[in-house]
């Protein structure tokens, strides 16, 4: 590939997979190794060296096309590659304080310290990219738009939209920015998985034709005043008294947080463990009365 002025893209070793950043218009993905022994599958993509990270947009493409922004494999980004690899690794390691919160201050293995340092390195690289682009635009007096970063810089130069924050911070945080007043406009997730009738049937007074998809309203079911006394009140002791025989494994239909049947939630066991750890952390961290 090097003979044609091409280079390999960034490869990210995640431990069980090996992925790369690629753009379909400019290259092809080539699997060069599939080693199930160490469960690693490296993937590479070839592209010309003229294509750079946040670099010049292709002349035959629109400036805002995501295909115009690709990763380069130059040595100056080696630190970023290593930081990403460490971040992916640290995101999957077992941290003792997650299971035993009282040991958090020990930082066994030094993982918490490594996480803070790794994400600081990533932030420094992002900051360097922004500063480099700002310097280039000032040096060349170039106000043209070539990619997404130029669009954001140009917009901030023309409009007062920072509100006390530096434009570098705004650019880095854009992907995480969600306005709270827009949350109510989002489509709420369904309360449970849909069911499809395999044959004609009747539910209550309603005729359900074959092939009809139904979604059970678990929120309403768990707040039915005919079943639960004071359903809107937080009363965990109810499961020790009048509802002591009710369990959550799908056979007591007045309380099925994980649904029931063949389509019940596959993460029920994991959810139970997380609830126990969360409750233990809550009891250890606060004085409850």
Tell me the pLDDT tens digit for each residue of 195-222: 788 999 888 888 989 988 888 788 888 8
Q: What angle do CA 140, 128, 26 make, to 5 degrees?
A: 75
Question: Quick one: pLDDT band at residue 185, thresholds 50, 70, 90?
Answer: low
SS3 155: helix
Helices within 148-285 (DSSP H only): 148-158, 167-173, 218-221, 268-285
Q: What angle do CA 33, 37, 39 make, to 5 degrees?
A: 70
Specify binding-site residues for heme.
265
**Mean pLDDT score, 89-105:** 80
Mean pLDDT taken over the chain: 67
Determine the pLDDT at residue 173.
Answer: 65
Q: What is the pLDDT of residues 271-288, one digit of tens each?
A: 888 888 988 888 888 887
The DSSP letter of residue 2 is G
**Mean pLDDT score, 44-54:** 35
**Contact (CB, 8 A) for 196 and 213:** yes
What distance in Å separates the CA atoms of residue 221 and residue 257, rounded to the nearest whole number? 10
Specify binding-site residues.
265
pLDDT at 161 over 60: no
- Pick 251 or 63 by higher pLDDT: 251
What distance in Å separates the CA atoms of residue 54 and residue 126, rounded to the nearest whole number? 11
- Pick 59 or 129 by higher pLDDT: 129
* Closest C-alpha to 248, from 240, 257, 239: 257
Report the half-sphere exposure of 9 (CA within 13 A, side-chain side).
Answer: 26
Determine the pLDDT at residue 70.
Answer: 38
What distance in Å separates the CA atoms of residue 252 and residue 230, rounded to the nearest whole number? 19
**Contact (CB, 8 A) for 88 and 15:** yes
Chain centroid, CA 266 distance in Å: 20
Q: Which of 43-47, 59-63, 116-120 is the least confident region?
A: 43-47
Relative orientation angle of helices 111-140 and 148-158, to the nearest 10 degrees: 70
Determine the pLDDT at residue 200.
Answer: 92
What distance in Å separates the CA atoms of residue 72 and residue 91, rounded to the nearest whole number? 24
Task: List the 29-31 sheet strands across, edge first.
Answer: 6-8, 43-48, 29-31
Q: Which two tokens stand for residue 114?
A: 């490594």
Determine the pLDDT at residue 199.
Answer: 92
Determine the pLDDT at residue 261.
Answer: 79
What distance in Å separates the CA atoms of residue 22 and residue 42, rounded to the nearest whole number? 13
**Contact (CB, 8 A) for 94 and 111:** no
Determine the pLDDT at residue 177.
Answer: 52
The DSSP letter of residue 16 is S
The DSSP letter of residue 194 is -
Determine the pLDDT at residue 172.
Answer: 63
SS3 76: helix
**Contact (CB, 8 A) for 47 and 69:** no
Determine the pLDDT at residue 143.
Answer: 59
**What percent of the chain stands above pLDDT 90?**
1
**Contact (CB, 8 A) for 135 and 145:** no
pLDDT at 27 over 80: no
């Amino acid at each position: 590939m090097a003979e044609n002025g091409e280079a390999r893209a960034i490869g990210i070793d995640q431990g069980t997979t090996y992925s790369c950043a690629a753009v379909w218009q400019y290259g092809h993905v080539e699997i060069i190794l599939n080693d199930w022994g160490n469960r690693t599958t490296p993937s590479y993509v070839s592209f010309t060296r003229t294509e750079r990270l946040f670099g010049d947009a292709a002349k035959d493409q629109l400036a805002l096309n995501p295909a115009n922004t690709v990763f380069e494999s130059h040595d100056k980004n080696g630190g970023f590659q290593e930081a990403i690899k460490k971040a992916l690794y640290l995101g999957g390691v077992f941290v003792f304080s997650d299971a035993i919160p009282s040991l958090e201050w020990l930082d066994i293995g030094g993982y918490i310290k490594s996480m803070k340092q790794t994400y600081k390195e990533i932030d420094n690289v992002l900051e360097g990219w922004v500063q480099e682009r700002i310097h280039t635009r000032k040096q060349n007096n170039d106000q043209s738009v070539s990619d997404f970063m130029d669009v954001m810089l140009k917009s901030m130069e023309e409009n007062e939209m920072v509100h006390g924050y530096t434009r570098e911070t705004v650019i880095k945080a854009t992907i995480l920015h969600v306005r709270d007043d827009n949350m109510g406009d989002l489509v709420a997730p369904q309360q449970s998985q849909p069911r499809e009738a395999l044959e004609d049937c009747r539910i209550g007074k309603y005729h359900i034709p074959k092939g009809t998809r139904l979604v059970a309203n678990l929120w309403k079911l768990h707040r039915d005043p005919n079943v639960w006394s004071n359903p809107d009140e937080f009363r965990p002791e109810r499961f020790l008294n009048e509802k002591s025989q009710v369990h959550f494994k799908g056979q007591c239909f007045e309380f099925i947080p994980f649904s029931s049947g063949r389509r019940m939630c596959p993460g029920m066991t994991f959810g139970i463990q997380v609830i126990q750890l969360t409750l233990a952390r809550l009891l250890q961290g606060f004085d409850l009365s």
